[in-house]
Amino acid sequence: MSIIKTKDQIKRMRESGLIVWEAHSAVSKMIEPGVTTRELDAVIEDLIIQRKAIPLFKGVPGVTPYPNASCISINEEVVHGIPSNRKLSEGDVVSIDIGVKFNNWCGDSAVTYPVGQIDPDLSRLLTLTEDILRQAIIDIAKQKYWRFVARDMSKTAHDNGFSVVDALVGHNIGKQMWEGPQIPNFYDEKIDFKLQKGMVMAIEPMINVGTKEVKTLDDGWTIVTADGKVSAHFEHTVAFTDDGPKVLTMGPACQGWSLPSFITDLD
């Protein structure tokens, strides 16, 4: 399948994206100390099923098939945390990654949320990681090749004293969740592509307080920082249209994103 999507196909992907956004909106209201990650996942799965959509992550092959509708990762867990009876605690940060397939088209988005009052340095990490994602989306319309967008993402993180995970990358997305080419958050001429109208990309910076190095836990899924320090993860599904970048997994006033270029209605 072509990585270039038609206007009609992007509209179909927008429908999936809105379900992802709705699930994030619902679960964001539940983030507080004492809530278990399994409770959060149950709300996400119920909403996806109510919308007659498919939770993309559930059943993904691995050492064992992924068991849940969402990936929920706490503190040093970078991605792919498995929901459980673990309770959120005051001062945690929790990343929630949600993927949906609706009418054969996919949407994928992640947000890292604070749990109650968090350390100012962690608050700065979350703000910066989301800002890196926002700037990358804006830069799509300004650059010819992805590597230059990724270069600026990485530079911003490093200039602020953080590291960029380079063992994990974003991806193009369409009828399948993972379509090529890969989308790194770091400069690499070997992992590059020309930015073209009609591309739909899941852009997802993963930024760490400490080392960029990561490792996988014995469950075969949860990826954590090698030094046990906190990580943040933000992601949106973004279409590069004739009218510029359109964020397909964002609703009105989502997360305070108010830039005019992020108007998400597709005429």
- The domain that contains 100 carries what CATH number? 3.90.230.10
2 domain residue, yes or no: no
Q: Which domain holds residue 90?
A: 7-262
Whether residue 1 lies inside any domain: the answer is no
**157 domain residue, yes or no:** yes
- Identify whether the C-beta of residue 57 lies closer than 8 Å to the C-beta of residue 65: no
Specify the pLDDT at position 258.
43
Evaluate whether residue 211 is within a structural domain: yes
Give the pLDDT confidence score for residue 263 in this predicted structure.
42
Global pTM reads: 0.94
Rounded-to-integer distance, Cα 258 and Cα 249, Å? 14
**pLDDT confidence of residue 251:** 78
Confidence at residue 252, expressed as pLDDT on a 0 to 100 scale: 61
Is residue 267 in a domain?
A: no
Total structural domains in the chain?
1
Residue 156 in domain = yes
Residue 260 confidence (pLDDT): 35
Q: Specify which residues 55 forms β-bridges with.
A: 100
What confidence score (pLDDT) does residue 107 get? 97
Regions of the chain short of the pLDDT cut 50: 253-264, 266-267
The DSSP-derived string for the chain is --SBPPHHHHHHHHHHHHHHHHHHHHHHTT-STT-BHHHHHHHHHHHHHHTT-EESSTT--SSS---SSEEEEETTEEE-PPP-SPBP-TT-EEEEEEEEEETTEEEEEEEEEE-SS--HHHHHHHHHHHHHHHHHHHHTTT-SBHHHHHHHHHHHHHHTT-EE--S--EEE-SSSSSEEEEE-SS--TTS--B--TTBEEEE--EEESS-S-EEE-TTSS-EEETT---EEE-BEEEEEETTEEEETT--TTGGG---GGG-----
Is the residue at 151 inside a domain? yes
Name the nearest CA neighbour of 15 among 83, 131, 108, 102. Answer: 102
CB 131 within 8 A of CB 160: no
Q: Is 200 a domain residue?
A: yes
On whether the CB atoms of residues 96 and 254 are closer than 8 A, the answer is no
Please report the pLDDT score of residue 248 as a whole number: 94
